[in-house]
A and B are shown apart, each in its own frame.
Chain A
Amino acid sequence: MDTQKHTTGKVTGIISNLVTVLTDGPVAQNEICYISLGDARLMAEVIKVTGRRASVQVYESTRGLRCGDKVEFQGHMLEATLGPGLLSGNFDGLQNNLATMQGVFLKRGEYTAPIDAEREWDFTPLAAPGDEVRAADWLGEVKEGWLPHKIMVPFAFKGSYRVKSIVPAGTYRACDTVAVLTDADGDEHPVSMIQKWPVKVAVTAYREKPRPWRIMETGVRCIDTFNPIAEGGTGFIPGPFGCGKTVLQHAIAKQGEADVIVMAACGERANEVVEIFTEFPELVDPRTGRSLMERTTIVCNTSNMPVAAREASVYTAMTICEYYRAMGLKVLLLADSTSRWAQALREMSNRMEELPGADAFPVDLSSIISNFYARAGAVVLNNGTTGSVTFIGTVSPAGGNLKEPVTESTKKAARCFYALSQNRADKKRYPAVDPIDSYSKYLEYPEIIDFLQKKISPRWVEMVLDAKNLVLRGKEAFEQINILGDDGVPVSYHERYWKSELIDYIILQQDAFDRIDASTPIDRQEFMLEKVLDVCHAEHDFETFEECSAWYKEVINLFRQMNYSEFQSADFNRYLEQINKYMSHDK
């Protein structure tokens, strides 16, 4: 720890985890401090200053704290430690390493280092003495699993520097100095593999942040086909409990086309995190053939862990994402659930007796959420390569009602909306993403349309819009049938309804627990959509509605068998053949 004199203080008030401190010197907003309680030191963050009194939120239980207990301010904000070894790590919201903690229970005041500073890495220099560099420029590289992990000029370095020296290729500890940089004044700055960055500040050490221009595949058809998310894009999944939010998020985490996945389990069930701990090491990433856990970092602050650290957890996770993005990697951040984060804000705002906004949430909720979503994005780095952070958050709306502050604020910030519907979940139509309410703004981006047409097929976007339209018309027909009765409407209404059922069963519904159906590559999605649309556009001449439903039920069954078969396998082709035959001789 540095020898610089820091402000100290004394506790003067306690309400749950909000503590007021009488300070003896300057303090900064969001500055970190430690409160001494017996042998333990409790970490806290300044959230408000009035005169010499600072209000701090304590990241731990304040049981047993007294007026007069000593407080030491640290002179910096909450920081994430960044360096090789973060992947496959399990951290709490303050980036303590959960794996190295002692005992079964979390101990108050026990803080563990996120990165093993003594661990050795094979370092290869990428820069040479004399090079001019700035923040986030690559100095060298180590292999973290299979990923080329770049050692960068720390993000906190301002202006331009010259590389004075850099170590030759070889094995070094993470804490060893690998390069010395000289600033404009001639002062020397040693650089190791580890750097720190305040989590609440966005990393902006890149050249530019253009509009997203390509799609991130998830293997989930109702996303990729119907409402694709852009690489570097933002999306959110609101839904009442029991609608399959977590299953959908886990599917995206397993299959998402990304180099690094960061999962922020923010105020959710601990057993869900255990599921990731247990299952991910067993699962293999099809793109690399390595264990899924190798590309996954978990930041977990489950619902029973201290509330203030819950708020910090999403920022910690985002900072780790931005760090890997600066290496030119594709990063996917999944946060479950952002509503719990908003509730943490509400609890603090309430204790500080601030005037509340809607549903007692703080009035600046909307701007906090949109600021956070804005940290995602695809960027062009200083050296011209690109990296991205794609962010998908879940929202747990109270009572399943989407007209509540967190959902509404998020809707303004995120570009993709995947509404989970209770109705679909009740009918076991999973994933329960509502095809009509959900949207992806990226489908309107000219650069994305261009990308899709080049990558998939020139007619792709047209086909997608066509399918969406058929689903909408099917729903309208269904409502008419329900009002007027099966016999009360023309057969064409039934046909319209069954076309939408075909799209629903074959494209939208997907069995996340089936080995093959769980993940559909984009070329297979294109094949299936084209085939399904062919059926929808074929001419039929049904006499009765029973005949119509029987015909479609059979076709749906054949298509479903296709979905369960390996793409273009003998089985797959046999079912395809049956469909072709069925279409040609029947009607």
Chain B
Amino acid sequence: MTNKAFQRIYTQLEAITKATVSLKAQGVSNDELATVAGRLAQVVKIKDDLVTLQVYEGTEGIPTDAEVTFFGEPPALNVSEDLAGRFFDAYGRPIDGGPEVEGERRFIGGPSVNPYKRKQPSQLIPTGIAGIDLNNTLVSGQKIPFFADPDQPYNQVMAMVALRADVDKIILGGMGLSNDDYLYFKNMFENAGALHKIISFVNTTEQPPVERLLIPDMALTAAEYFAVDKNEKVLVLLTDMTLYADALSIVSNRMDQIPSKDSMPGSLYSDLAKIYEKAVQLPAGGSITIIAVTTLNDGDITHAIPDNTGYITEGQLFLRQDSDTGKVIVDPFRSLSRLKQLVIGKKTREDHNQVMNTAVRLYADAANAKTKLENGFDLSDYDNRCLAFAKDYSNHLLAIDVNISIEEMLDTAWMLFARHFSKAETGIKEALIQKYWKSEDEPAA
């Protein structure tokens, strides 16, 4: 941060809490940045001449005579093509040893797109993962989180999705990433030879939690630059939004706000929506797609964070350990992509919708059969075949290590239908059966 001529310097703090300091100052504007004893802080409250600053790095060791310098402007990021391939901290400072990025200075957390000017999302984003492409197809301009328990490999899945997706830029917003995960992402991107299209903003667990609050806005400011100014397809990865929300609750708590459900601030919905709604299909062709991670506490989706997220995002992807195959799968029951009907059967083969629904229905029949088995009832022949199908279905399609095209997924599904069921049992439209039914000895494409 460069020093400017009109900087005002104060040295008398009136109050200090764990996250904020207050002082008497004149002419301070709302949201502007400052440093308190060299640490970055932002104006969050002004009452007459008493200004309250949120200190991102925490207030440990700050004395009442700390030097406070106001910058006169809110947090900003320099944007240009030079962002590509770089790693930054929460303030947009390089952490990869490279030089500062030159470019146009843009304030982060800018205005929203006029809803009337948006376009309906319609471009499919293939990932090679059948649990996503086949059952919960992603569309550019969509916002969708992974709901996952902390022990699941969500960051790996997300990195995989990002690298396979056909996009121009990938922007990683890492909040409370463990150092190991940060290095994992870095290695993945490097090994894939994709560094040139990746921009990362990272706050690790070693850094103060309140800093995380800047990460999504930094990442999305960069995303808007590429999507709006350069008409590029941008994919933004945000992990982990639960830790972001936790940081929000810390700040609101320090500011004596009355908490609502699960000790989250009452504005949690709006705070999250402001981030997720940056996902957009722009009229000029650029788009921002957001894939986020919301970690759950023991699968509890009624907690305020996943609950508010679910109301904002266009669906959710559930990761689950499948006990039958020992693989991590994308749960076909609880996952949902709200925008999938915009591309299914339109951008994909005509049988996509029926194949998807039939496979999920048969998988549900298998789940019923399993319950029957557990309760000690006898299984019918159909039940047994459903169970066998479910195992194949998990192994060959739902498992996240599958990487095939959508055509291949559909062919695989037809092959599994033929292996375990009669044509009538699938209940698929006659015309499609005639065209696509695969007998067992024919290999799947």
Segment touching B, from A376-384, A395-403, A435-443, A517-525: A395-403
Contacts of B282 in A (CB 8 A): 104
Contacts of A343 in B (CB 8 A): 266-267, 269-270
CA gap between A264 and B91 in the complex, in Å: 38
A-contacting residues, B257-283, CB 8 Å: 257-261, 266-267, 269-270, 273-274, 277-278, 280, 282-283
Is B102 interfacial (CB 8 A cutoff)? no
Q: Mark B74-116, 1 if CB is under 8 A from A, else 0.
A: 1000000000000000000000000000000001011111111
Contact partner of A98 among B107, B115, B228, CB < 8 A?
A: B115
- Least Cβ distance of B301 to chain A in Å? 8
Decide if A64 touches B120 in the complex (CB within 8 Å): no
Contacts of B27 in A (CB 8 A): 66-68
Is B49 interfacial (CB 8 A cutoff)? yes
Q: For A15, give the chain B residue with the smallest CB separation.
A: B45
Contacts of B311 in A (CB 8 A): 241, 396
- Least Cβ distance of B194 to chain A in Å? 28
Given contacts A269-B314, A277-B116, A343-B270, whether A61 and B111 have CB atoms under 8 Å apart is yes
Decide if B118 touches A270 in the complex (CB within 8 Å): yes
- Least Cβ distance of A399 to chain B in Å? 3
Q: Mark A90-127, 1 if CB is under 8 A from B, else 0.
A: 10000000110101111110000000000000000000
**Chain B at the A interface: mostly helix, strand, loop or mixed?**
loop
Decide if A270 touches B266 in the complex (CB within 8 Å): no
Decide if B46 touches A106 in the complex (CB within 8 Å): no
Decide if B270 touches A271 in the complex (CB within 8 Å): no
Contacts of A65 in B (CB 8 A): 29-30
Contact partner of B258 among A12, A360, A485, CB < 8 A?
A: A360
Is A491 interfacial (CB 8 A cutoff)? no
Segment touching A, from B127-135, B195-203, B302-310: B302-310
Contacts of A103 in B (CB 8 A): 114, 117
Contacts of A240 in B (CB 8 A): 310
Segment touching B, from A221-229, A300-308, A466-474: A300-308
Decide if A14 touches B120 in the complex (CB within 8 Å): no
Given contacts A66-B29, A278-B120, A426-B333, whether A346 and B74 have CB atoms under 8 Å apart is no
Q: For B360, give the chain A residue with the smallest CB separation.
A: A428
A-contacting residues, B360-389, CB 8 Å: 377
CA gap between A359 and B307 in the complex, in Å: 15
Decide if B260 touches A64 in the complex (CB within 8 Å): no
Given contacts A64-B74, A399-B303, whether A274 and B119 have CB atoms under 8 Å apart is yes
Contacts of B303 in A (CB 8 A): 399
Given contacts A67-B48, A271-B141, A347-B267, whether A360 and B260 have CB atoms under 8 Å apart is yes
B-contacting residues, A1-59, CB 8 Å: 12-16, 20
Is A129 interfacial (CB 8 A cutoff)? no
Decide if B116 touches A303 in the complex (CB within 8 Å): no
CA gap between A108 and B142 in the complex, in Å: 25
- Least Cβ distance of B287 to chain A in Å? 12
Is B28 interfacial (CB 8 A cutoff)? yes
Decide if A398 touches B304 in the complex (CB within 8 Å): yes
CA gap between A147 and B238 in the complex, in Å: 49
Contacts of A270 in B (CB 8 A): 112-113, 115, 118, 277, 280
Decide if B118 touches A64 in the complex (CB within 8 Å): no
CA gap between A398 and B264 in the complex, in Å: 12
Contact partner of B283 among A104, A106, A108, A398, CB < 8 A?
A: A104
CA gap between A513 and B344 in the complex, in Å: 14
CA gap between A68 and B258 in the complex, in Å: 29
- Least Cβ distance of A359 to chain B in Å? 5
Contacts of B277 in A (CB 8 A): 269-270, 302-304
Given contacts A303-B277, A304-B273, whether A63 and B31 have CB atoms under 8 Å apart is yes
CA gap between A282 and B415 in the complex, in Å: 39
CA gap between A90 and B114 in the complex, in Å: 11
Q: For B50, give the chain A residue with the smallest CB separation.
A: A13
Contacts of A106 in B (CB 8 A): 111-114
Decide if A64 touches B274 in the complex (CB within 8 Å): no
Decide if A300 touches B115 in the complex (CB within 8 Å): yes
Q: For A245, give the chain B residue with the smallest CB separation.
A: B311
- Least Cβ distance of A180 to chain B in Å? 38
Contact partner of A398 among B74, B258, B307, B341, CB < 8 A?
A: B307
Is A350 interfacial (CB 8 A cutoff)? yes
Decide if B110 touches A64 in the complex (CB within 8 Å): no
Is A340 interfacial (CB 8 A cutoff)? yes
Contacts of A104 in B (CB 8 A): 113-114, 117, 228, 282-283
CA gap between A485 and B27 in the complex, in Å: 76
Contact partner of A63 among B74, B261, B266, CB < 8 A?
A: B74
Contact partner of B257 among A62, A300, A307, A350, CB < 8 A?
A: A350
Is A356 interfacial (CB 8 A cutoff)? yes
Contacts of B26 in A (CB 8 A): 67
Is A369 interfacial (CB 8 A cutoff)? no
Decide if A13 touches B115 in the complex (CB within 8 Å): no
Q: For A360, give the chain B residue with the smallest CB separation.
A: B260
Contacts of B46 in A (CB 8 A): 13-15, 66-67
Q: Mark A302-317, 1 if CB is under 8 A from B, else 0.
A: 1111010000000000
Is B37 interfacial (CB 8 A cutoff)? no
CA gap between A14 and B26 in the complex, in Å: 13
Given contacts A343-B266, A360-B258, A426-B333, whether A269 and B312 have CB atoms under 8 Å apart is yes
- Least Cβ distance of B343 to chain A in Å? 14
Decide if B121 touches A271 in the complex (CB within 8 Å): yes
- Least Cβ distance of A430 to chain B in Å? 13
CA gap between A173 and B311 in the complex, in Å: 44
CA gap between A359 and B315 in the complex, in Å: 26
Kindly list the 6 A-B residue pairs having the minimum CB-CB distance in the complex, ordered from nearest. A399-B302, A303-B273, A304-B277, A98-B116, A241-B310, A360-B260
8 A-B residue contacts at CB 8 Å? Answer: A12-B47, A101-B116, A104-B117, A106-B111, A271-B142, A302-B277, A303-B269, A398-B261
Contacts A15-B47, A104-B283, A343-B266 known; 16 new A-B pairs at CB < 8 A: A12-B47, A14-B30, A64-B31, A105-B110, A106-B112, A106-B114, A240-B310, A271-B118, A274-B119, A274-B120, A303-B274, A346-B266, A350-B266, A361-B260, A398-B308, A399-B301
